[in-house]
């Protein structure tokens, strides 16, 4: 403003200085003339004054008009500014809202199942030959022995899962074993929409008995399964069948009951007897929180199996009869304020009570062996965990007719002590060193050192408790 | 047969519980529990599956959560894979058809907002990335507003007898919320354009809302802990990018943030991140009151 006004004043001063000069310099000076000149000048001055006043008025009018216009422009600008900021606000809000059109590109592959590939690798140094593994007093299945010496990749596991539709979920786990054979570990469908808390499952799956049985090997805390799982369930019990579970609507505590029926062609069952429904199970599980940091899960399960000429690791022994077992399991977990990411602790234990009744090679056999393990895993730093496990078996006396076989416990109590240290590169990668003092076979004092990696590629699988 | 009787008994016993209850809401995170309570009042009973001091990525699928999901009429989760490590197990174990994804009883908060930070490529070498975008949407009140409106509609659909109550309460909530949002924006005006550092990349919605520049993060990649070389880079960035202070969430380990801030001579500001992340952050309003007050105080210091 002052700039414009200042400029006007300078301009009018210059005009004032130039305007009078033209006619006045031509006159000759005498008294009358001077008088007339003075009068003329006086008139001119008055004239000039009037003109100047007019000019000044004109300028001021124009200036005030300009000021007025400037003010109104400013006001308009402010309005525009406000409108612009409002528009910006709206745009920002709009940007934060989802567009009505789908933002993700819909490609046919979006419907592909979630895929996870589990890779393993291990190096094992063992003082006892793992190929000769056989626990005195127990005739076991074909998958129970420890991993082989030296380098191996164990099982490479492919998991595929997706909702089939709004009513069904499907999952398959295909294992590529170390010796290049293919094994369908799980392939099942599961209901999503049954009423009243029921869930049904059908296909091939890991039975829900016990605690560890339904976990895939890559989720175990040690490279091998505890002794009772190895000798009584051939590591894990999976078979073709159906399952029905029911969750009680208790809100504050989880209480679940379930039952399963299986073909009965998977150790300890054999021969798919009873017209192809050779095994049954029933289980009850309960769990809850003590508070935000401490939680628990406990269960009791029963498995009934029938066997017809069940083959064992002792080629000369075939079992026909019934093998039933009761499993008690308990898990306690600590995570400070429920957040296990920095530090956490897990204590788990299971007890197996087994009843065998039938014949080995037509010789009557009745035995009630048992087995148990307890293990604790402590994650002491965000990527580090250490664990300890003790597992043991209590064999049963052997009838004299079978004394020369694998079933003779030789007066031993098979047991192991294991310790492990693991480092996780992330949620998806893990290196683990495990040491086991193995007194389960071949006399006392076996040493096992296993260095192992397990990684998971692809989709982020959810972890069971 | 005893088992069958027990089953039948528990089953018959169970039916009356469902009939008389208010709308049973299972909220994956405390911010949505607080919002559902604000919108539903005494017509809803809300359970928060996690508390304000838990990392929602890192929750175990505990039996207690399965028990709560079993009876829920409505599950309110963030979505965008935030709960991918535990929620799928709970949903499959709960035996509750009402809350399965795709059902009216399954609500994802991210369905109401547009996500920022969606990665242009998906590679685990980039750390803990979320394909759909950054899921920590509760750090902006504008997102809370959008989720409130969408959640209210869902509650009205599910519980039509109380629809009027929900609509009324929502209108009231949004009026108060808009007023509070204007107040926060006014208070936070000096923060616009300043440069700050974050401990973990979970503040994008807060910084975008307030116009702050996230000039450095303590993690080179989400979920990947920093090495010494990276940390010295961050320390060098503080004066070079004129970083004013460092923020971190209450559930995160304070030690790295305190260490770096101490070395760099800037304040480390713990923010509640969600309802319950601070003893005074009891609801969504106090959550933002505290957040803005701490930011403004850190800026003024």
Q: How confident is the model at residue B6 (pLDDT cuts 50, 70, 90)?
A: low
CB contact under 8 A, A428 and B124: yes
Cβ contacts of B64 on chain A, cutoff 8 Å: 252-254, 287-289, 295
* Residues A193-205 pLDDT 10s: 999 999 999 999 9
* Residues A265-317 pLDDT 10s: 999 999 988 899 999 999 999 999 999 999 999 999 999 999 999 998 888 89
Pick from B10, B57, B67: which is nearest to A254 by CB?
Answer: B67
- Amino acid A25: pLDDT: 43
* Residues B28-79 pLDDT 10s: 999 999 999 999 999 999 999 999 988 888 899 999 999 999 999 999 999 9
- Amino acid A235: pLDDT: 95
**pLDDT, average across residues B108-136:** 87
**Cα dihedral across residues B94, B97, B102, B106: positive or negative:** negative
Q: How confident is the model at residue B225 (pLDDT cuts 50, 70, 90)?
A: confident
Q: Do residues B143 and A96 touch, judged by C-beta distance below 8 A?
A: yes
Looking at the domain assignment, is residue A133 inside a domain? yes
Q: How confident is the model at residue A132 (pLDDT cuts 50, 70, 90)?
A: confident
Looking at the domain assignment, is residue A19 inside a domain? no
- Of B131 and B37, the one with more pLDDT: B37
Cα dist. A65→A3, A8, A52, B280 in Å?
Answer: 16, 14, 19, 59
The highest-confidence range among A11-15, A162-166, A430-434, A439-443, by mean pLDDT, is: A430-434
Q: Indicate if the pLDDT at residue A84 is higher than 60.
A: no
Cβ contacts of A255 on chain B, cutoff 8 Å: 10, 67
Looking at the domain assignment, is residue A144 inside a domain? yes
Residue A425 lies in domain: 129-151+210-455
Which is it for strands B23-27 and A363-367: parallel, antiparallel or unpaired?
unpaired
* Residues A94-121 pLDDT 10s: 544 544 433 444 556 667 888 999 999 9
Which of A144, A187, A97 lies closest to A311, judged by CA? Answer: A144
Question: What is the helix (H) or strand (E) element at residue A449, kind and residue range?
Answer: strand A446-458
How many angstroms separate the CA of residue A248 from the nearest CA in chain B? 7
**pLDDT, average across residues A409-414:** 91
Pick from B18, B55, B89: which is nearest to A249 by CB?
Answer: B18
Q: Which residues contact A137 (CB under 8 A, 6 or more apart)?
A: A369, A393, A395, A396, A398, A406, A407, A408, A409, A410, A412, A414
Lowest pLDDT segment from A8-17, A193-202, A287-296, B212-221: A8-17
Residue of B nearest to A339 (CA): B54
Give the CA radius of gyration of chain B: 21
Lowest pLDDT segment from A188-192, A408-412, A451-455, B190-194: A408-412
Residue count of chain B, please give it: 301
CA distance B184 to A318: 78
Measured in degrees and rounded to the nearest 5, phi and psi for residue B68 equal -70, -35
Q: What is the DSSP string of B228-243?
A: HHHHHHHHHHHHHTTE
CA distance A419 to A425: 20
CB contact under 8 A, A292 and B94: no
Question: What is the helix (H) or strand (E) element at residue A39, kind and residue range?
Answer: helix A31-96
CATH code of the domain covering residue A327: 2.40.160
Q: Indicate if the pLDDT at residue A83 is higher than 60.
A: no
CB contact under 8 A, A286 and B63: yes
> How many CB pairs below 8 A link A and B?
167
* Residues B170-183 pLDDT 10s: 999 999 999 999 99
Token representation of residue A327: 């499993």
CATH architecture of B20-113+125-183: 3-Layer(aba) Sandwich (3.40)
- Amino acid A20: pLDDT: 40
Q: How confident is the model at residue A143 (pLDDT cuts 50, 70, 90)?
A: confident
Average pLDDT value over all residues in chain B = 90
Total tally of structural domains belonging to chain A: 1
Q: Is B199 helix (H, G, I), strand (E, B) or coil?
A: coil
- Amino acid A65: pLDDT: 67
Cα dist. A391→A224, A295, B53 in Å?
Answer: 11, 24, 37
The torsion region of residue A23 among left (phi > 0), alpha (psi -120 to 50) and beta comes to: alpha
**pLDDT, average across residues A308-335:** 94
Q: How confident is the model at residue B138 (pLDDT cuts 50, 70, 90)?
A: very high
- Amino acid B17: pLDDT: 44
Which of B149, B79, B76 lies closest to B107, judged by CA? Answer: B76
Token representation of residue B10: 């528990």
CATH number of the B189-300 domain: 3.40.50.1980
Residue count of chain A, please give it: 465
* Residues A340-380 pLDDT 10s: 888 999 999 999 999 999 999 999 999 999 999 999 999 99
- Amino acid A464: pLDDT: 87
Lowest pLDDT segment from A19-33, A236-250, A430-444, B284-298: A19-33
Q: Indicate if the pLDDT at residue B233 is higher than 70.
A: yes
* Residues A453-462 pLDDT 10s: 999 998 877 7
Which of A167, A170, A141, A143 lies closest to A154, judged by CA? Answer: A143
Q: Indicate if the pLDDT at residue A86 is higher than 60.
A: no
Q: For the purposes of burial, counting CB atoms within 10 Å of the CB of A106, is it exposed (0-12), middle (13-18) or buried (19 or more)?
A: exposed
Residue ranges, CATH 3.40.50.1980, chain B: 20-113+125-183, 189-300
Between helices A31-96 and A2-18, what is the axis angle to 10°? 160
Best residue in A297, A338, A382 to probe B by mutation, most B CBs within 10 Å? A338
Residue of A nearest to B97 (CA): A193
Return the number of other C-beta atoms located less than 10 Å from residue A110's C-beta: 8
Lowest pLDDT segment from A14-18, B190-194, B198-202, B287-291: A14-18
Cα dist. A191→A162, A197, A336, B78 in Å?
Answer: 12, 11, 35, 25
* Residues B256-267 pLDDT 10s: 899 999 999 999
Looking at the domain assignment, is residue A254 inside a domain? yes
Looking at the domain assignment, is residue A384 inside a domain? yes
Which of A349, A335, A444 lies closest to A379, judged by CA? Answer: A335
Looking at the domain assignment, is residue A337 inside a domain? yes
CB contact under 8 A, B62 and A465: yes
Which of the 8 DSSP states describes residue A297? E
């Amino acid at each position: 403003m002052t700039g414009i006004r200042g400029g006007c004043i300078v301009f009018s001063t210059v005009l004032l200085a130039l305007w009078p000069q033209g006619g006045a310099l031509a006159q000759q000076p005498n008294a009358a003339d001077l008088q007339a000149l003075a009068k003329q000048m006086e008139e001119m001055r008055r004239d000039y004054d009037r003109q100047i006043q007019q000019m000044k008025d004109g300028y001021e009018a124009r200036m005030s008009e300009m000021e007025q216009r400037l003010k109104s422009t400013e006001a308009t600008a402010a309005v525009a500014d406000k409108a612009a900021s409002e528009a910006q606000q709206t745009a920002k809000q709009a940007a934060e809202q989802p567009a009505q059109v789908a933002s993700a590109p819909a490609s046919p592959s979006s419907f592909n199942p979630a895929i996870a590939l589990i890779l393993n690798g291990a190096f094992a140094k063992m003082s006892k030959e793992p190929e000769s593994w056989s626990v005195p007093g127990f005739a076991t299945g074909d998958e129970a022995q420890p991993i082989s010496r030296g380098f191996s990749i164990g099982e490479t596991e492919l998991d595929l899962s997706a909702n089939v539709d709004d009513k069904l979920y499907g999952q398959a786990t295909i294992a590529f074993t170390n010796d290049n054979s293919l094994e369908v570990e799980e392939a099942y469908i599961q209901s999503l929409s049954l009423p009243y808390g029921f869930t049904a499952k059908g296909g091939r799956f890991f039975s829900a008995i016990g605690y560890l049985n339904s976990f895939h090997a890559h989720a175990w805390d040690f490279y091998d399964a505890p002794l009772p799982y190895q000798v009584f369930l051939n590591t894990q019990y999976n078979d073709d069948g159906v399952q029905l579970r029911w969750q009680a609507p208790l809100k504050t505590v989880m209480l679940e009951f379930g039952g399963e029926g299986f073909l009965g062609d998977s150790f300890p069952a054999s021969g798919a007897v009873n017209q192809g429904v050779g095994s049954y199970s029933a289980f009850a599980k309960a769990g809850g929180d003590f508070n935000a940091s401490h939680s628990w899960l406990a269960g009791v399960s029963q498995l009934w199996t029938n066997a017809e000429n069940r083959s064992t690791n002792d080629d000369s022994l075939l079992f026909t009869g019934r093998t039933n077992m009761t499993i008690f399991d308990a898990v306690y977990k600590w995570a400070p304020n429920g957040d296990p990411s920095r530090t956490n602790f897990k204590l788990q234990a299971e007890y197996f009570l087994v009843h065998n009744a039938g014949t080995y090679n037509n010789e009557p056999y009745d035995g009630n062996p048992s087995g148990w393990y307890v293990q604790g895993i402590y994650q002491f730093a965000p990527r580090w965990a250490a664990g300890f496990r003790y597992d043991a078996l209590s064999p049963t006396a052997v009838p004299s007719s079978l004394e020369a076989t694998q079933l003779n416990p030789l007066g031993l109590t098979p047991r192991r002590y294991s310790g492990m240290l693991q480092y996780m590169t992330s949620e998806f990668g893990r290196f683990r060193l495990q040491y086991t003092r193995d007194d389960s076979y071949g006399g006392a004092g076996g040493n096992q050192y296993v260095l192992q990696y397990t990684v998971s590629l692809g989709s982020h699988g959810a972890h069971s408790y | 047969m005893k088992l069958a009787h027990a089953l039948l008994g528990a089953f018959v016993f169970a039916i009356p519980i469902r009939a008389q209850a208010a709308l049973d809401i299972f909220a994956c995170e405390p911010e949505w529990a607080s919002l559902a309570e604000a919108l539903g009042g005494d017509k809803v009973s809300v359970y928060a599956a996690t508390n304000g001091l838990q990392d929602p990525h890192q929750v175990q699928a505990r039996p207690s959560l399965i028990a709560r999901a079993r009876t829920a009429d409505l599950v309110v989760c963030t979505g965008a894979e935030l709960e991918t490590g535990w929620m799928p197990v709970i949903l499959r174990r709960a035996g509750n058809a009402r809350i399965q994804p795709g059902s009216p009883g399954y609500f994802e908060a991210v369905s109401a907002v547009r996500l920022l930070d969606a990665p242009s490529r998906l590679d685990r070498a980039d750390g803990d990335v979320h394909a759909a975008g950054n899921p920590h949407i509760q750090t902006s009140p504008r997102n809370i507003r959008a989720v409130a409106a969408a959640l209210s509609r869902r509650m009205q659909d599910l519980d039509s007898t109380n629809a009027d109550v929900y609509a009324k309460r929502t209108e009231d909530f949004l009026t108060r919320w808009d007023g509070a949002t204007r107040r926060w924006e006014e208070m936070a005006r000096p923060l616009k354009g300043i440069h700050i550092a974050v401990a973990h990349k979970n503040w994008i919605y807060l910084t975008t809302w307030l116009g702050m520049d996230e000039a450095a993060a303590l993690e080179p990649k989400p979920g990947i802990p920093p090495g010494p070389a990276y940390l010295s880079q961050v320390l060098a960035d503080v004066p070079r990018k004129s970083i004013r202070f460092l923020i971190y969430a209450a559930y995160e380990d304070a030690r790295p943030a305190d260490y770096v801030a101490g070395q760099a001579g800037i304040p480390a500001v713990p923010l509640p991140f969600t309802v319950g992340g601070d003893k005074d952050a009891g609801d969504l309003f106090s959550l933002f009151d505290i957040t803005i007050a701490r930011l403004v105080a850190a800026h003024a210091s």
